[in-house]
A and B are shown apart, each in its own frame.
Chain A
Amino acid sequence: MTDKASGATPPRGFYGPEGGGGGLLSWVFSTDHKRVGLLYLYSLLSFFAIGAILGLTMRAELLMPGQQLVSPRVYNSLFTLHGVIMIFLFIVPGIPAIMGNFMLPLQIGAEDVAFPRLNLASWWVYMVGAFLAVTSLFSGGGAPDTGWTFYAPYSIRTNSNVSLAVLAAFILGFSSVLTGINFITTIHRMRAKGMGFFRMPLFVWSLYATSWIQVIATPVVGITLVLVVLERLLGIGFFDPAAGGDPILYQHLFWIYSHPAVYIMILPAMGVISEILPTFSRRTIFGYKAIAMSSMAIAGVGYLVWGHHMFTTGMSDTSRVVFSLMTFLVAIPTGIKIFNWVATLYRGSISLESPMLYAMAFIFLFSIGGLTGLVNGALSTDIHVHDTYFVVGHFHYVMFGGTGIALFAALHYWLPKISGRMVNEKKAKRAFWLVVIGFNLLYFPMLVLGIMGMPRRYHDYLPIFQTPHVISTIGSWVIATGLVLMFWNLWSSARRGALAGNNPWGGTTLEWQTTSPPPTLNFDAPVTVTAGPYERGEGRTA
């Protein structure tokens, strides 16, 4: 794993003429799951960049008390757009759309997903949704200012362009349902000969659980968002107290989806980590079945905890206790995973290359996110921290520190397979430290601010809050530098890095058996599986 650039080139694989060649049309109309995965990669990362710039702007505004850069109204739009883009355009499709598309068929030894054209269609639907979301900024009554949750009744009353943004979210949900259906069918129908369910890699298991949540939860928010649009256009009154409707009902319907959506974000991330740990500790995974089943358990229990977003907004005491209890139950399968991961590392022969570093960062940051989640999940403490910066800190630790970092881990881990070239380790490590240190500088002060009582979604604050805010803003600059270096390094490594060969990390799952980058139909001959996914030494015939 040297960083020496070499003159030799990797095989062209699916980038070559057989896969459709290099023209733009051959990409945007390709049904090859690998190309669709890369389409998603570039689209999602572009939106991530926009979202991050919006976040940095907010942080700049918060450097000092009072108004510096933007008016309160603009600040409201900033956090709304930042939330909408980061949630609906980046992190929810996130790992499944990018890495799932690329790796799922490879990992189960298939040629493609079950419905390749539907797969391409889901990318187009995604792009339509994204286009509408971006249009909503510049048209109608101006950028939406409701927060990404579109809570009624304000979302019904405001004259900013909520309808279009909500419609965009609906369409994006549709795209995610299509992907979910496709993945479930693929996993049921396309596994290679000899690969029973309990021989599937854990990443595939996590995609399976995720797809079910996508399919079960998304339609509910879909119809809810349609209702918001109809409410604004026709005044049906469902969520409008003046017409006898109930805004709290909106919150229920919204969170019935949006909480499971949190698991849509995190399960694939956990899947990535379960792939990286055995590879870089040269051991088989500890507790394979427990990890696989805990994914399914999280998917199941996660469906029943939505009420914990509403502890302070009007619910009976009985439901509050039940929802709080269910919330704590989610910690059990999550804990099972963390302990199994740590047990995998125990006495392993660990090597700390960049994917492994990011995996470690994931465990650390996600644990902070998970533990602060329990503070929110407990009834009494939630009263204190609800709607404060504590919550903002918490969900960034989970979503960004968890899923975001896991996506970075996956990018470093699978870049050799995708591009045929190695990541430049030295630069990757430098960027890594900037990202992790910057991350904690940026978000840890938010937890402190929340405990002190700083409410979220304000463009201004009292002077006593200034020190943590300054640290946080400085952190945002550090992490931004780190992110730029990281993406730059990934980009240049993919073009000029040392040749990777089929299996640079010594991974045991099927994607490492084929060439890097893989040929259009993934494997040169049909694959037969004869061993579990993480068993070492044993031959697997390809």
Chain B
Amino acid sequence: MSDTTLAHGAHAPHKDYEGAKTGMWIFLFTELLLFGGLFLVYSVYRTLYTHDFHLAAGHLNVPLGVTNTFVLLTSSLTMVLSVTALQKGDRQSALNTLGWTLFLAGLFLVIKFFEWSAKIEHGLYPGSPVLKSLPAGEGLFYGLYFVMTGLHGFHVIVGMILLSVIAFQVKSGRVHQGDFVKLENAGLYWHLVDLVWIFLLPLFYLTN
């Protein structure tokens, strides 16, 4: 939290590495709980409609899901590399690896887009006539699928915006070897996005 010229005048901004990390961890905790609510809904309906969930999951495209998992895992790796590079003072390589992270995030979304459109083409979307004709549990499964992967995808987009902003700050030198906590926090956020997906994959794709 810096450059608050308006109220604090010439006063030196307060910098606190530990504080910034503490705040970020608590925020990540709230994110987990946000998804936690959905996982709760999932577990309730999975218990109620085990058989329907089983059938519905069979229609998901496992190879695409697994590919996406690798894409995200690799992006987490490039994220870590970026943070380490900046800590070592190697700005160029930090930027390069950050670029890779952004690219992989984009790739993830593209694959997700094709998956979603295929489902929608087959009439499998919330409230669709096809789903209404199927047993209730399958409808709920697809409801959950779209809501949870949708919320996750939204987090990917937010993560991409965040990482781009920080890439610019690395480039301009506002985030640098001596003050890299923003990049590190963005990295933490990115790992969370990755982590959530690691749970989504088995819950949706691998239950058939």
Contact = CB atoms under 8 A, between A and B. Distances in A.
A218 B8 CA distance: 32
Contacts of B168: none
A222 B34 contact: yes
Given A114-B16, A220-B36, A235-B126, A31 B139 contact: no
> Looking at chain B, what size class is its interface with the partner chain?
35 or more
Interface string A482-524: 0000000000000000000000000000000000000011000
Interface in B1-38: 1, 4, 6-9, 11, 14, 16, 18-19, 22-23, 26-27, 29-31, 33-38
Given A185-B23, A219-B30, A520 B140 contact: no
Interface in B36-88: 36-38, 40-41, 44-45, 48-49
A26 B37 CA distance: 40
Contacts of B31: 219
Contacts of A237: 126-127, 136, 139-140, 143
**Main SS of the interface on chain B?**
helix
B22 A244 contact: no
Contact of B38 (A182, A184, A188, A223): A223
B137 interface: yes
B30 A236 contact: no
Contacts of A35: 7
Interface string B124-160: 0111000010011101100110110001000000000
Counting chain A CB atoms within 10 Å of each CB, which of B7, B22, B137, B146 scores highest? B7
A244 B37 contact: no
A216 B126 contact: no
Interface of A is mostly: helix
Nearest to A180: B26
A531 to B, nearest CB: 26
Contact of A219 (B16, B37, B41, B125): B37
Nearest to A256: B37
Contacts of A182: 23
A256 B41 CA distance: 13
A117 interface: yes
A220 B6 contact: no
A32 B7 contact: yes
Contacts of B26: 180-181, 184-185, 215
Contact of A220 (B7, B37, B125, B139): B37
Contacts of B14: 111-112, 114, 116
Interface string A241-255: 001111001000100
B7 A19 contact: yes
A234 interface: yes
A520 B8 contact: yes
A237 B34 CA distance: 19
A399 interface: no
A230 interface: yes
Contact size class for A?
Answer: 35 or more
Contacts of B37: 219-220, 222-224, 253, 256
A70 B27 CA distance: 45
A20 interface: yes
A115 interface: yes
Contacts of A215: 26, 29-30
Given A35-B7, A222-B34, A227-B147, A244 B40 contact: no
A244 B144 CA distance: 13
B8 A32 contact: yes
Contact of A243 (B1, B18, B40, B139): B139
Nearest to B49: A244
Contacts of A118: 1, 23
Given A118-B1, A215-B29, A188 B126 contact: no
A115 B143 CA distance: 38
Interface in A151-186: 177, 180-182, 184-185
A487 B8 CA distance: 31
Interface in A12-37: 18-20, 26, 29-32, 35
Contact of B146 (A18, A19, A117, A236): A236
B44 A218 contact: no
Contacts of B49: 244
A236 B143 contact: yes
Contacts of B8: 31-32, 112, 116, 520-521
A189 interface: yes
B23 A236 contact: no
A4 B28 CA distance: 53
A153 B46 CA distance: 21
Interface in B107-137: 125-127, 132, 135-137
A222 to B, nearest CB: 6
A253 B40 contact: yes
Given A115-B23, A243-B139, A238 B6 contact: no
A18 B30 contact: no
B7 A31 contact: yes
A180 B33 CA distance: 15
B30 A116 contact: no
Given A31-B6, A223-B37, A227-B147, A521 B11 contact: yes
A243 B136 CA distance: 6
Contact of A249 (B44, B125, B137): B44
Given A112-B14, A181-B27, A185-B23, A20 B140 contact: no
B29, B38, B132: residue with the most chain A Cβ atoms closer than 10 Å: B38
B131 to A, nearest CB: 9
B127 A235 contact: yes
A217 B19 CA distance: 22
A236 to B, nearest CB: 4
Contacts of B137: 244
Contacts of A227: 41, 147
A185 B22 contact: yes
Given A220-B36, A234-B127, A235-B126, A189 B18 contact: yes
Contacts of B126: 230, 234-237
Contacts of A216: 29-30, 33
A26 B4 CA distance: 12
Which of A30, A35, A244, A256 has the most CB atoms of chain B within a 10 A radius of its CB? Answer: A244
12 contacts: A118-B23, A185-B19, A216-B29, A219-B31, A219-B34, A236-B127, A237-B127, A238-B144, A246-B44, A253-B37, A256-B37, A521-B11
Given A112-B14, A177-B30, 18 more contacts: A32-B8, A114-B19, A114-B23, A116-B14, A181-B30, A184-B22, A184-B23, A184-B26, A189-B16, A189-B18, A219-B36, A219-B37, A226-B151, A234-B126, A236-B126, A236-B143, A237-B139, A249-B41
Nearest 7 pairs between A and B by C-beta?
Answer: A244-B136, A235-B127, A236-B143, A223-B37, A219-B33, A219-B34, A189-B19
